[in-house]
Amino acid sequence: MSAAPVLRKAKELNRAAALVTALERGNCDHCGDSLAGLKVVRRRFFAAPRELAFCCLGCAFIAEQLHLARVSSRDCAALEASVPPATQLVGASARLQVRIRGMVCAACAALIEHRLRREPGVIAAHVDFAMHRAYVSFDAQRSTPAEITRAIERSGYRAGSNEAEEKKAARIDLLRLLIAWLAMMQVMMLAVPTYFAAHGDIATDIEQLLRIAQLILTVPVVFFSGWPIVRAAASQLRAGQVGMDLPIVLGLSAAFGASVWAVLVASGPVYFDSIAMFVALVLGARWLQAKALRRAAEHIDVAERRTPTMAQRLRSFPASGAVDEVAADELRPGDHVLVPPGGSVPADGVVARGASTISQAWLTGEATPIDKNVADAVLAGSVNFDQPLVIEVTRAGAATSLAALRRLVDDAGRERPRVIELANRVATVFLWTVIVLTATTACAWLAIDPAQALPNAIALLVATCPCALSLAAPAALAATQSALARRGVLTARVAALQAAARVDVVAVDKTGTLTSAQPAVARVLLLRDRPLRRIIGIAAGLETLSMHPYARALSAHAAAAKIEPLAICDARVAGSAGVEAMVDGERYRLGRVAYARALTTTAFSDRWEQLPDLIDAHGLEDSGLAVLADRHGPLAIFVFAELPRRDAAAFADHVRATGAELILLSGDRRAPVERIARELHIDQGFANQTPESKRQRIAELQRDGRVVAMIGDGMNDAPVLAQADVSIALAEGASLAQARADFIVTSPRLADAACVFDAARRGMRIVRHNLAWALVYNAIAIPLAAFGLLTPALAAAGMAASSLIVVGNALRARRIAPREA
């Protein structure tokens, strides 16, 4: 940690303390500006002696952070580390998520993880190389965020984000790369003549001059450009681990030492060109790698950026329109907030006033704005487009769907897929093997031809590429996650991708999964000779009064057929039994059979007698019905049913195309289940299932060696989802927070759930390609180098190329079939 920021923080801290007396003079307690004429922000911090006044929320926020830091840490050095990006208390254990800077490859991540797990009080630690983040859960009694960040810094990396410093680090990284390439080209130019000249063709002093020039140009390559590699290897050694930087540094230092010696004594071969090329290529590969991983990670990270931090709270809605600017975290359920057009919604809630269109693209990946009217639910992070909205807060802060989503995504990487664990173990063994092989090669060549010993040992160290081995899986899986995220599918457990690639039975729930939870008008049976459009017009007119789900279905049906609801008067709503109203001077009732029948005069009551037979004849006993009647008897029967989602057929086809069997597990009665199964060509439909019998059925399939995926709504199906090898929950908006599954489909399209299997298969195939490639490459390169058939320069090119091929291949997993419109 450099001294300057610590000193600056300390100075700020003192200032905050000194300014405690500033209130009397009417100045801001943080920046010291006059408060005259400003809307003063008053805060009382935890364990603070008195209330403080600030000129703006920004000052209040900074002062609070400083205050908390002062309360929780004893010294200034801890202060810098103790302002982590996110800590969260969960019972006695706390979770910390912190950015890590200075990691150069996947081995660094493993190293930090290893160090963190040995820290006292740390319960679990996971370091994500692609996202440059550490996720640590620790016992709040035995450790603090400051302790943990210090442990990270002790292992040679930097914790916490500091934008200015990060920017500078990024610039220096780029500079290292550019300097290495510039020097490499020049060194090559100076080295080439010595390759092509016959012995004695170049005067010795010219040759010496060329070598000195090469040395001068190679020094910045080794000590500036290559420095991160040296540092990483050193910290790996200190931690008692062998990382993939170690063989690189061994090779580099052997080559550099021998070359410098050769220049000093003016005899012997120099390898400056190999060194420069190696460093340039390794840095180039890593730079591209970092760029690629960042791109793969950006979709996973997208929800992070959408949180509004401020909210406009209405002081006393609906009495007045006065607005307080408050921090979004301070909102409580029941508060009313104003969301201006173009603003984002600060908390989950319900529209209390206004109508507008909003975009929930952060959640669903769906760019089309959705209409929101009074009583519609809106989610934090959504963007309001047209009109100002007043929203009554239902969930705020950490309880919002957005926060829940972020936790889900944060936790996703906690459990590492077996394939990554395996690759890492192989890489460690591999590194030792390489070091032993190098020693053997050097010894053998010393006996055969001492002049060849050094170049061959260097070639062997440089040619082997454990990077390809340990990068193969994580890069491909990150790319797969990113591809899914773009389709609105969140990966809540990365480890599940491995199982998802092998799924051969897909079990789906019916209500809310294959069908939309809202009923729809399935059929209209006309009982008397009236035009259908008029009947629907009357029914829709009557139902304008009712909020019953059937009423909504009827209105939607009329709207879809472009039928205007007819004007009604003298209307009465009889609870859930039905509605009565006058249309064009005629009285109508719409609702349950008994309710509608009561309107009919006794003279026409025989018209009702045939109704039960009619219902039987059409096989409708199990369906939801509403009857429209006037004084002369029944007019029409409206049959309501759950309709399959519009893309249910596409989903079923998609699943079948992956070669998996599709089965339907439903708690519903036999008739509707069979109808849906028939409509979607589903092989097996099981009706009347309880959650327990669904679970057993899945367990049975698993006993037969099948890999089962379950798709449900994520709440009612919890035990079933837990039993399945892969669980996929369809969570629309509000239900997101409760959803528990490996994958969560946030888009309204069911077909997106099916792409989990495709993407996982593709991702795992790429992982296998990568591992196979890394193994084949090393199997060829090692013997070639050991037997002296590979010059150090060629070895450097080979190693860098194999890293690049692995990363490039992994990025293919990002590509995913576009949505069908």
Catalytic positions: 509
**Looking at 148-156, 196-204, 572-580, 601-609, which segment touches another protein (CB under 8 A)?**
196-204
Nearer to another protein, 344 or 401 (CB): 344
* From 141-149, 188-196, 347-355, 812-820, span contacting another protein (CB under 8 A): 188-196
Candidates 5-13, 86-94, 190-198, 334-342; binding stretch for another protein (CB under 8 A): 190-198
Q: Which range in 125-133, 170-178, 618-626, 652-660 contacts another protein by CB under 8 A?
A: 170-178
**90 binds another protein per the rule CB under 8 A:** no
Q: At its nearest, how many Å lie between another protein and the CB of residue 344? A: 18
Name the region of 796 (left: φ>0; alpha: ψ -120 to 50; beta: rest).
Answer: alpha
Do the beta carbons of residue 402 and residue 479 sit within 8 Å? Answer: no
- Residue closer to another protein by CB (options 260, 556) is 260
- Does 196 participate in binding another protein (rule CB under 8 A)? yes
Q: Which is nearer to another protein, 223 or 432 (CB)?
A: 223
Question: Binding marks (x or -) toward another protein, 220..239, rule CB under 8 A?
Answer: x-------------------
Q: How far is the CB of 131 from another protein (least distance, A)?
A: 20
Using the minimum distance from each CB to another protein, give the nearer residue, 179 or 781.
179
CB atoms under 10 Å from CB of 70, counted, come to 16
Asked if 762 contacts 545 with a C-beta cutoff of 8 angstroms, the reply is no
Across the beta sheet with 383-384, the strand order is 370-372, 356-359, 383-384
Residue from 738, 742, 804, 735 nearest 773 by CA: 804
3 binds another protein (CB under 8 A): no
- Report if residue 322 touches another protein, rule: CB under 8 A: no
- 202, 446, 524, 687: which one contacts another protein (CB under 8 A)? 202
Exactly one of 7, 170, 532, 779 binds another protein (CB under 8 A); that residue is 170
- Tell which one of 8, 42, 167, 587 touches another protein (CB under 8 A): 167
Which among 164-172, 329-337, 404-412, 506-514 is the span making contact with another protein, rule CB under 8 A? 164-172
Long-range CB pairs of 644-650 (<8 Å, 24+ gap) are 644/514, 644/515, 644/676, 644/679, 644/680, 645/514, 645/515, 645/516, 645/750, 647/749, 647/750, 647/751, 648/514, 648/515, 648/680, 648/750, 649/679, 649/680, 650/750, 650/751, 650/820
Out of 209, 532, 699, 772, name the contact with another protein by CB under 8 A.
Answer: 209
| 198: contact with another protein by CB under 8 A | yes
182 counts as binding another protein under rule CB under 8 A: yes
Is residue 517 within the footprint of another protein (CB under 8 A)? no
Distance CA 265, CA 153 (A): 42
Nearer to another protein by Cβ, of 173 and 324: the residue is: 173
Contact 274, 187 (CB under 8 A): no
Report if residue 213 touches another protein, rule: CB under 8 A: yes
Smaller CB separation from another protein, 198 or 367: 198
Neighbours of 272 (CB within 10 A): 30
- Select from 90, 206, 559, 779 the one that contacts another protein (CB under 8 A): 206
- At residue 513, the 3 state secondary structure works out as helix
If one asks whether residue 422 binds another protein (CB under 8 A), the answer comes out as: no
| Paired tokens of 171 | 């610039």
Which residue type occupies 601?
Answer: T
Q: How far is CA 578 from CA 342, 584, 814, in A?
A: 41, 19, 53
Closer by beta carbon to another protein, 20 or else 192 = 192
Q: Which of 78, 108, 159, 217 binds another protein (CB under 8 A)?
A: 217
Residue 601 to residues 542, 630, 634, 638: CA-CA distances in angstroms?
A: 20, 9, 11, 22
Sites for another protein among residues 58-77 (CB under 8 A):
none
Distance (Å, whole) CA 579 – CA 581:
7
Q: Does 216 bind another protein (CB under 8 A)?
A: yes
Amino acid 270 reads: V
Q: In the 8-state DSSP scheme, what is residue 511?
A: I
The least distance separating another protein from the CB of residue 213, rounded to whole angstroms, comes to 5
Q: How many binding residues for another protein (CB under 8 A)?
A: 25
The token pair that represents 476 in the structure block? 């491909």
Q: Minimum Å distance from CB 385 to another protein?
A: 17
User: What one-character-per-residue DSSP string does 417-431 give?
Assistant: PHHHHHHHHHHHHHH
CB 388, CB 372: distance < 8 Å: no
Residues 6+ apart with CB under 8 A from 812: 479, 762, 766
- Which CB atom, from 6 or from 189, has the smaller least distance to another protein? 189
Give the residue, chosen from 193, 268, 318, 341, that forms a contact with another protein under the rule CB under 8 A: 193
Q: Exposed/middle/buried for 162, CB within 10 Å: 0-12, 13-18, 19+?
A: middle
Residue 657 CA: distances (Å) to CA of 427, 650, 742, 761: 37, 10, 22, 13
Candidates 6-14, 181-189, 416-424, 761-769: pick the segment binding another protein (CB under 8 A). Answer: 181-189
User: Least distance (Å) from another protein to the CB of residue 166?
Assistant: 11
Q: Which of 18, 92, 175, 532 binds another protein (CB under 8 A)?
A: 175
266 binds another protein (CB under 8 A): no
* Burial classification of residue 330, based on how many CB atoms lie within 10 Å of its CB (0-12 exposed, 13-18 middle, 19 or more buried): middle
Chosen residue from 34, 92, 118, 201 binding another protein by CB under 8 A:
201
Q: In the bound complex, what is the minimum distance in angstroms from residue 180's beta carbon to another protein? A: 11
CA distance 772 to 793: 24
How far is 339 from 402, CA to CA, in rounded Å?
Answer: 17
Per-residue exposure over 105-115, b if at least 16 CB sit within 10 Å of its own CB, e if not: bbbbbbbbbeb
Binding site for another protein (CB under 8 A): 167, 170-171, 174-175, 178-179, 182-183, 186, 190, 193, 196-198, 201-203, 206, 209-210, 213, 216-217, 220
